[in-house]
């Protein structure tokens, strides 16, 4: 293949991506260049970085690419178009009807991973529960990054449970316990009462009057995964805290994501429910989004 042909092919791809970027920017898509390149790499079956090599374009590429760009222009989530979302070291399948994992939640996962690693290194294989697991990103991060851990992933949504099982089948160690369950049910995981080392959760927490601004969230993420119930959005988070109190052993850690306006209220809920050392930590954007606490008492070895 001569260089002039390769150059024309590269120019054609660059032109299509530049055009897509303009279309997406005009539609208010927050990251138009990124999304235009991801859509092109997805359609070509290559990594985004490989686009600089000007891969050969199928005859129908421009037409199919235009269709994907139009979907994104209409603010269909990028993850729903390409079917995957990166989360820490994982590439998770995502589907409509299940909350799309967010990069901010990697902070929550990191706290649980670090705690699990510390326990594993001390000779205590950690037992971890992920309540409201969604697509399974946090649970699978712990499962894969701390293979000595035993992880249980729970969600009230049957679609989320199905998706977590799918992701686990492709990515996990094969030891995860994945079940449908409601955090308000006092019998949930009753066989683990008082024995869990870490409970982690990204529950629904949006108050009823705080409609998300982004169409991708407002129009596509499931209501069940967004709104926490009650006037303050903290009905489900409160139930999650109480479930964690029941499940955790003395010295066990709880970490939960919440809205950046709820830190003070969540710390108060942790304290009133018997947790010590409640603190709120920032997410990747510097907003107060994760609160943690521990059950008082010395850690016990299982």
Annotated binding site: 155, 202-205
> Annotated binding site for S-adenosyl-L-methionine: which residue ranges?
155, 202
Q: Apex CA 123: angle with CA 122 and CA 125, to 5°? A: 110
CA-nearest of 90, 166, 14 to 153 is 166
Annotated binding site for substrate: 202-205
How far is it, in rounded angstroms, from Cα 296 to Cα 275? 7
Residue showing tokens 């209501």: 223
């Amino acid at each position: 293949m001569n260089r002039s042909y390769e150059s024309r092919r590269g120019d054609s791809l660059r032109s299509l991506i530049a055009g897509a970027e303009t279309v997406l920017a005009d539609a208010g898509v927050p990251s138009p260049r990124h999304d235009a390149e991801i859509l092109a790499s997805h359609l070509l079956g290559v990594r985004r970085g490989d686009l600089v090599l000007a891969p050969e374009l199928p005859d129908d590429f421009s037409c199919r690419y235009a269709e994907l760009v139009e979907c994104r222009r209409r603010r269909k989530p990028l993850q729903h178009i390409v079917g995957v979302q990166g989360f820490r070291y994982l590439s998770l399948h995502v589907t409509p009807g299940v909350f799309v994992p967010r990069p901010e939640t990697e902070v929550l996962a990191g706290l649980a991973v670090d705690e699990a690693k510390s326990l594993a290194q001390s000779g205590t294989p950690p037992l971890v529960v992920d309540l409201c697991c969604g697509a399974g990103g946090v649970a699978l991060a712990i499962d894969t990054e701390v293979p000595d851990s035993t992880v249980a992933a729970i969600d009230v949504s049957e679609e989320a449970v199905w998706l977590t099982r799918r992701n686990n089948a492709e990515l996990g160690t094969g030891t995860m316990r994945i079940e449908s369950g409601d955090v308000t049910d006092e019998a949930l995981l009753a066989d683990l009462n008082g024995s869990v080392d870490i409970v982690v959760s990204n529950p629904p927490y949006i108050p009823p009057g705080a409609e998300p601004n982004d169409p991708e969230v407002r129009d596509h993420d499931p209501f069940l995964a967004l709104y926490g119930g009650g006037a303050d959005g903290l009905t489900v988070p409160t139930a999650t805290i109480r479930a964690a109190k029941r499940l955790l052993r003395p010295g066990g850690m709880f970490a939960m994501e919440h809205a950046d306006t709820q830190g003070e209220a969540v710390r108060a809920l942790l304290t009133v429910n018997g947790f010590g050392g409640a603190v709120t930590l920032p997410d990747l954007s510097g907003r107060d989004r994760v609160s943690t606490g521990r059950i008082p008492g010395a850690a016990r070895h299982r």
